[in-house]
Amino acid sequence: MKKAFAIAILFLITGQLLAQNKKENFKKMNTTEHYTFQLSDKVTRQKVSFKNRYGITLSGDLYLPKNVGNQKIAALAISGPFGAVKEQSSGLYANQMAERGFAVVAFDPSYTGESSGEPRNLASPEINTEDFSAAVDFLGIQKNVDRNKIGIIGICGFGGFALNATAVDKRIKAVATATMYDMTRVMSKGYNDSVTLEQRTKMLEQLGQQRWKDAENGTFAYGPEGNKALKGDEPQFLKEYYDYYRTERGFHKRSVNSGNSWTATTPLAFMNMPILTYIKEISPRPVLIIVGEKAHSRYFSETAYENAAEPKELLIIPNAVHTDLYDKVDIIPFAKIEVFFKENLK
């Protein structure tokens, strides 16, 4: 348990997965336009950008049904997983939902991917929550979008941010999460809330010392580069992350989790800023929470469901693990997601 906890904390702080030795496998994917899925022949995709309240320019892809014409349709904003980019899971979800008749923007969060912000690869619960509202701003001024019919989808860590954004932004009419993480909970308390006060205090002391080093150097340190293959004794969920981010299945060179690193002090803002405090205030707008039966992260979704007010639904996908809901279109319940938003974005 202690070993698994140590590896988990290292993963969260650095955003690192152990790198694969056979780098030649990724050469053909090392292009700026690489997507980890095929664009539907029923959908168009165009690059877009928009600013959040902090002046950070967010980069996104706008997916539209080809037959949209001049009609105003319901729209969705999608981001996640935590440490991923729009060419990965969020784009796949956007492609699927546009095929089902929605206008959808999948976007890179602030400081990551093609979005602006310095230093690179920094995360913030407040700013990443704001990123969703900025995407709603963008959608609401598009000629093909009915601004009274906007919902959002958050994947993994951005599931938590999506719930937080919906609680405060009443323009969002419905929210769905897939394989959700509460990043503030896991960084401050560890997996299954296992961090002791002593461990938390030590971590905060180390982060404070890192701030001194960053100030002395005039630059921000990043987590260590992973340069070893998996040994085989890692926790199963890290092997599953590796199978997505570090293989042809989901690798993208801009993704933090595909071999880059978060800034070393990224956890600071997550340590005392619980993002789901006001989850009940999403009501009376509906919440759909989707999670795999065998996901190591399942307890985040169950807690969020328990704390949310009606109308709410918890959908548990049989036998699915956390990363199955990143890209396995035969497992992700897109038909259910389609019905949820069509019924609630009226």
Tell me if 79 sits within 8 A of 139, measured CB to CB. Answer: no
pLDDT score, position 13:
45
Q: pTM for this structure?
A: 0.93
Q: Give dist(CA 177, CA 79) in Å, integer.
A: 10
Domains with residue ranges and CATH for the chain: 43-182+274-344 (3.40.50.1820)
Gap between the Cα atoms of 266 and 103, Å rounded: 33
- Cα 160 to Cα 71: distance, rounded to the nearest angstrom: 32
pLDDT confidence of residue 81: 98
- 267 upstream amide cis, omega within 30 of 0: no
End-to-end CA distance of the chain: 48
CA–CA distance, 262 with 271 (Å, rounded to integer): 16
Backbone dihedral angles phi then psi of residue 227, each to the nearest 5 degrees? -135, 20
Gap between the Cα atoms of 56 and 115, Å rounded = 8
CA 189 to CA 91: how far, in whole Å? Answer: 31
- Each residue's pLDDT tens digit, 287-329: 999 999 999 999 999 999 999 999 999 999 999 999 999 999 9
d(CA 255, CA 88): 9
* pLDDT confidence of residue 225: 59
**pLDDT value of position 23:** 39
Residue 223 confidence (pLDDT): 84
Sites in the chain below the pLDDT cut of 70: 1-32, 225-228
